[in-house]
Amino acid sequence: MDGILKEAGIQDDIPVPLSGEVRSRIETAIEEAIAAGAYLATRQYHVALAGNISVRVTPDLLICTRHGADKEFLTRDDFVLCNSLGQKMGGAGKPTSELNMHRAAYDSRPDIHAVIHSHPPAATAFAATGTPLDELQLPEMLVLLGPVAMVPYATPGSSDLARELTTLLPGRDAFLLQNHGTLTLGRTVRQAALRMDLLEQKARLTLMVKQMGKPFVLPAASREALLDFREPMANWGCEPFPSKPK
């Protein structure tokens, strides 16, 4: 049970005792975050060590990637345990510099348990030009990804950026960070990763559609009918990543 925590160095210096259940949740969260890192990096969303991943394991504890970790090749040493105030509770290295942004998401959204920040190229191009990403109206995008908000630019890692994000968090799971990158939320880390895929796909398709003409706008009744599926589909993509055949 203590294997991953010990290997991660999280075991030795935790100031509060953790129950077996919490330790087990931390282990599962680290395994899922390692899988998410490889999934996202092979899609070129996390080049040059960029991006960060966190998972909330209890109302007061989260694990996050350490600053400078290579998301494609994450190991158990690449995670830091923090409390909800952002104080480090265990693990080697410094927490991601974007911890404020992750904490803002958890503070405002008790329903989500994973946050991913990436730089997928097409979606980041929309962020870099301040171009909203809300014209494409495909059923999957409306139901599974939902509305995409543009978070005004603030210095990465700053509390200003966390503040800008906070006002946009209710009812949204996907964000363009102006002149920076993207952010997705999920009930699980896999759901957040799949939303990152949908966000990048939406950006690529929007570019194609704009080259071909004007996107067709669905009638309001059709959009409303699709939005009715959002709540029943809330657990879409929450299963763990399938393990690779050995």
3-state SS class at 176: strand
Indicate the Cα dihedral angle 170, 172, 178, 181, nearest 10°: 130
**98 labelled catalytic:** yes
**Distance in Å, CB of 119 to Zn ion, minimum:** 6
Does residue 134 contact residue 148 with C-beta atoms inside 8 Å?
Answer: yes
**Distance in Å, CB of 154 to Zn ion, minimum:** 12
Tell me whether residue 121 or residue 237 sits nearer to Zn ion (CB atom). Answer: 121
Q: Contacting Zn ion (CB under 5 A), which of 89, 181, 192, 198? A: 181
Total number of residues binding Zn ion (CB under 5 A)?
Answer: 1
CA distance 55 to 176: 20
CA distance 96 to 179: 19
Tell me whether residue 181 or residue 186 sits nearer to Zn ion (CB atom). Answer: 181
Tell me whether residue 67 or residue 230 sits nearer to Zn ion (CB atom). Answer: 67
Element (H, E) at 211: helix 189-212
**Distance in Å, CB of 104 to Zn ion, minimum:** 15
Cβ count near 48 (within 10 Å): 7
Stretches 17-25, 80-88, 123-131, 176-184: which one binds Zn ion (CB under 5 A)?
176-184
From the list 7, 27, 72, 98, the catalytic residue is 98
Does residue 123 contact residue 203 with C-beta atoms inside 8 Å?
Answer: yes
**Distance in Å, CB of 100 to Zn ion, minimum:** 13
Q: Which residues bind Zn ion (CB under 5 A)?
A: 181
